[in-house]
């Protein structure tokens, strides 16, 4: 019994240390970002907001997203959800009944300091889009941000390519 207790105690301690290391390692990478940029974001330097908007539009369009016109400076894009995403957010029955689900991404361009801008994105799953009363929006969690961070990285690359070289 003493051996089992000793093993369990060591296992618990090592597991707790490992989990703490994972949590701290993941959390430190976003310490220099604003709280709103915790989903997916990049910093773009030496570009105007209009050049950045053009890069954002091109990247999202090339990845199958359509732009939804907005009244403010925010850019909103959406695409039809995959079968798996539809099942995740509308449920199996909703997917079988043909409930429509779209993946919507809201992109903001915010000044960071002179000559630099935060370009941040937040993604949502939207069930029954366009149905004012019945539209249901679910924000994606930070651990689901990887594909959207890839899009933001593509925006940064595209913006950098549009910079004229002297």
Summarize pLDDT for 46-88 with one digit per residue, the tens.
999 999 999 999 999 999 999 999 988 899 999 999 999 999 9
Look at residue 58 and tell me if it is in a domain.
Answer: yes
CA distances 39 to 10, 30, 122, Å, are: 36, 10, 6
Asked whether residue 113 falls in the same domain as residue 86, the answer is: yes
CB atoms near residue 154 (< 10 Å): 18
Name the pTM for this structure.
0.75
Asked whether residue 41 falls in the same domain as residue 113, the answer is: yes
Asked whether residue 21 falls in the same domain as residue 82, the answer is: no
Asked whether residue 56 falls in the same domain as residue 112, the answer is: yes
Q: What is the b/e burial string over 19-47, where b = at least 16 CB atoms within 10 angstroms of the residue's CB?
A: eeeeeeeeeeeeeebeeebebbbbebeeb
Look at residue 166 and tell me if it is in a domain.
Answer: no
Summarize pLDDT for 108-159 with one digit per residue, the tens.
999 998 889 999 999 999 999 988 788 899 999 999 999 999 999 999 999 9
Distance CA 114, CA 93 (A): 51
Asked whether residue 57 falls in the same domain as residue 138, the answer is: yes
């Amino acid at each position: 019994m003493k051996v089992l207790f000793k093993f369990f105690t060591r296992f618990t301690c090592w597991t707790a240390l490992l989990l703490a290391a994972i949590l701290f390692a993941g959390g430190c990478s976003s310490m220099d970002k604003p709280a709103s940029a915790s989903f997916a974001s990049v910093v773009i330097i030496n570009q105007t907001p209009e050049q950045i908007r053009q890069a954002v539009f091109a990247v999202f369009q090339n990845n199958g997203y359509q732009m939804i016109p907005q009244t403010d400076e925010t850019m909103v894009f959406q695409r039809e959800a995959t079968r798996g995403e539809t099942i995740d957010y509308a449920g199996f029955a909703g997917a079988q009944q043909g409930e429509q689900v779209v993946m919507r991404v809201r992109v903001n361009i915010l000044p960071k300091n002179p000559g630099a801008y935060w370009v941040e994105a937040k993604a949502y799953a939207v069930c029954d889009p366009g149905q004012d009363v019945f539209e249901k929006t679910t924000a994606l969690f930070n651990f689901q941000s990887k594909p959207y961070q890839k899009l933001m990285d593509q925006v940064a690359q595209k913006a950098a390519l549009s910079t004229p070289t002297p």
